[in-house]
Amino acid sequence: MTTALEVRLASRPKGWPTEDNFEIAEVEVPTPAEGQILVRNVVMSVDPYMRGRMNDVKSYTPPFQVGAPMDGGAVGEVVTSNSPDFQPGDHVLHGLGWREYAVVDARHAVKVDAEVAPLTAYLGVLGMPGLTAYAGLLATAEFKEGDAVFVSGAAGAVGQIVGQIARLKGASRVIGSAGSADKVKHLTEELGFDAAFNYKDGPVADQLAAAAPDGIDVYFDNVGGEHLEAAIANLNLHGRVTICGAIAQYNDTEPAKAPRNLVQLIAKRLTLRGMLVGDHRGLQPQFIKEVAAWIASGDLKYSETVIEGGIRKAPEAFLGLLKGENTGKMLVKL
């Protein structure tokens, strides 16, 4: 193989992205230098945070550059190694997805074992989304046994794990919101949520109040907007909120109209705290040990939506993710 495909940002979207914002380019397979490895990607991740990187704005991570390949989590097989730490045939987790072949600095690659867990799990439940859920609930929201927990986007890659960890850690009640009747059923019948609702069926505040008659103590926010406003209305005294994402607002071209009830933060002495998973790498060993054990025992389940068809399907998968077409982690098999 002398050439390979990569996905580039063709233009910056205004509002909702379209396939026209992406370009599929054929390039020469790169050659690794000393201390580098050549990886043939097997599976890649698409994630909500990537929408923000399509905009040319200052943020916690640099924006994608127009005309340059995009990047993100991927797992691949080492083809050539110029590092003593890796051998051809090893599987590695790294950050240069959105391309079929990647040259990766060995220090930025992590060896993963397909016999311990499926390769896809290292991009989901045992990867960045899983650690986000674990750290966001236990460290950022300071969850404690007996808390009532509400999770928005609960059928997504992060939300599905948050709710189950809360249940396993002794939550008094776990409530989730999702965007379809099938996802609501999945949450309650398969993942063990005590209650769930379809946010499209009516005002979120009313549905949440009905699902949590005694209020909530923790809100894990993946959505923002109306969901955050509803959570504030239903939080008990000293309630805590982890602000993880705001997917409901990522494609807005006007400022969000909600939440409009932030004054309740004063009366209820609420805590709203943003989180970035990169701040919690120290929890990684504890996270892997505990979550892997739950998976092995069957106490924690996870879903994946895997798009077949190779790298050309990556833009379609990403757009589908933004529209909520996935259950669990959205992945593209290369």
CATH of the domain at 201: 3.40.50.720
Residues 78, 133 within the same domain: no
Residues 139, 42 within the same domain: no
The SS3 of residue 181 is helix
Whole-Å CA distances, 303 to 28, 183, 200, 252: 35, 11, 22, 28
- 8-state DSSP, 119: G
308 within a domain of the structure (yes/no)? yes
Residues 120, 139 within the same domain: no
CA dihedral over 265, 266, 269, 274, signed as positive or negative = positive
Give the residue among 162, 167, 159, 193 at the shortest CA–CA distance from 328.
159
137 within a domain of the structure (yes/no)? yes
- Each residue's pLDDT tens digit in the chain (334 positions)? 799 999 999 999 999 999 999 999 999 999 999 999 999 999 999 999 999 999 998 888 899 999 999 999 999 999 999 999 999 999 999 999 999 999 999 999 999 999 889 999 999 999 999 999 999 999 999 999 999 999 999 999 999 999 999 999 999 999 999 999 999 999 999 999 999 999 999 999 999 999 999 999 999 999 999 999 999 999 999 999 999 988 767 676 677 777 889 899 999 999 999 999 999 999 999 999 999 999 999 999 999 999 999 999 999 999 999 999 999 999 999 9
Tokens of 230: 């509803």
284 within a domain of the structure (yes/no)? no
- Number of domains comprising the chain: 2
Residues 140, 268 within the same domain: yes
Residues 150, 203 within the same domain: yes
Tokens of 52: 């923000």
Residues 133, 271 within the same domain: yes
Residues 36, 155 within the same domain: no
Single-letter residue type at 40: R
Residues 159, 266 within the same domain: yes
Radius of gyration of the chain (CA): 20
Tell me the CATH number at 33. Answer: 3.90.180.10
Residues 87, 99 within the same domain: yes
> For 109-167, how does the pLDDT look when each residue is reduced to its tens digit (9 = 90+)?
999 999 889 999 999 999 999 999 999 999 999 999 999 999 999 999 999 999 999 99
Single-letter residue type at 192: G
274 within a domain of the structure (yes/no)? yes
Residues 113, 201 within the same domain: no
Residues 72, 174 within the same domain: no
The backbone torsions φ and ψ at residue 50, rounded to the nearest 5 degrees and listed phi first, read -65, -25
286 within a domain of the structure (yes/no)? no
Give the domain range for residue 164: 128-278
Residue 28 · residue 38 · CB < 8 Å: no
The angle subtended at Cα 128 by Cα 19 and Cα 25, nearest 5°, is: 30
> For 29-47, how does the pLDDT look when each residue is reduced to its tens digit (9 = 90+)?
999 999 999 999 999 999 9
Q: Give pTM, 2 decimals.
A: 0.91
294 within a domain of the structure (yes/no)? no
148 within a domain of the structure (yes/no)? yes
329 within a domain of the structure (yes/no)? yes
Residues 107, 197 within the same domain: no
Burial class (CB in 10 A: 0-12, 13-18, 19+), 281: exposed
